[in-house]
Amino acid sequence: MKKLIILIGCMLFLSFTVSAQKFITKTGHIKFFSESPLEKIEAHNRQVNAALDVATGDFVFKVLLKSFEFEKALMQEHFNENYVESDKFPNATFMGKVINIKDVNIGKDGVYDVVVEGKLTIHGVTQQISQKGSFEVKQGKIAVKAKFSILLSDYGIKIPAAVANNISKSVETSIDANLDLFNQTSR
């Protein structure tokens, strides 16, 4: 019996030390922006979930598409109904790795350039992507920043000819997420 307790104790300790390297947020911010000759479209989502394991570099994102807020209610309705079809595909996800996680020193405040590679899934279509971004380490927290563009046709999002002048083919996406150390015991 003692052995079992020790064993379980060890495993709990192990899992704790593993989780102690995880950083997490549920209030990340993603903004996207599309500018065309006729219309400027901007949307914000401030409920982005993200987790980063600084030991392995594993990095995941989960974005509820219905949480994007637009300036015009009608744009929001069209975004959900006609473009990303959020009833069918409620989330956009990213699963990948920070390939140069070794360069990031969590113990030392500073801005680190990172390269992230992995699978981005939007509208049920998965694409392998590689993007540059930055991690700003400050007092044990990590501010993740990245800016890149998403080509809508890569994800099977069709723009009808009638509104082709209103919506640009690619949207500028920027990510701004402050990750905190994930503390399992506090949950």
Partner 1 sequence: MKNLLYSTIFIFLALFTGTANAQEDMMNLLNKQDKPAIDYTTATFKTTKVVVGESSENPPTGNMLFLITHHFGALNTGYENLFGLKQATIRLGLEYGVTDWLGFGVGLNTLQNTWDGFLKIKALRQSKGARRMPLTLTIFGSTAIYTTKWSDPSRKNYFTSRISYASQLIIARKFGERFSFQLAPTYVHVNLVATPDDHNNIFALGAGGRFKITQRVSINAEYYYLFPNQIKSTPAYSSFSAGIDIETGGHVFQIFLTNAMGENLETIITQTTGTWFNGNIFLGFNISRIFTIVKPKQFRKTE
72 lies in the site for partner 1, by CB under 8 A: yes
93 lies in the site for partner 1, by CB under 8 A: yes
Given a contact cutoff of 8 angstroms between Cβ atoms, the answer to whether 94 and 60 are in contact is yes
- When binding is defined by CB under 8 A, the residue of 64, 106, 159, 181 that contacts partner 1 is 64
71 lies in the site for partner 1, by CB under 8 A: yes
Given a contact cutoff of 8 angstroms between Cβ atoms, the answer to whether 63 and 49 are in contact is yes
- When binding is defined by CB under 8 A, the residue of 20, 95, 106, 143 that contacts partner 1 is 95
Site string for partner 1, 8-47 (x = CB under 8 A): ---x---x------x-x-x---------------x-x---
Select from 54-62, 99-107, 125-133, 146-154 the region that touches partner 1 (CB under 8 A). 54-62
Cα–Cα distance, 179 to 6 (Å, whole number): 33
CA atoms within 13 Å, Cβ hemisphere of 184: 11
DSSP category for residue 123: T
Which structure tokens are listed for 141?
Answer: 């927290």
Q: Shortest approach of partner 1 to residue 74 CB, angstroms?
A: 6
- Where does 4-80 show beta strands of DSSP type E? 22-35, 40-53, 58-64, 69-70
Of residues 111, 134, 121, 103, the one with CA closest to residue 60: 121
Q: Which residues bind partner 1 (CB under 8 A)?
A: 3-4, 7, 11, 15, 22, 24, 26, 42, 44, 49-51, 53, 56, 58, 60, 62, 64, 66-67, 69-74, 77, 80-82, 87-88, 90, 93, 95-97, 118, 160, 162-163, 166, 182
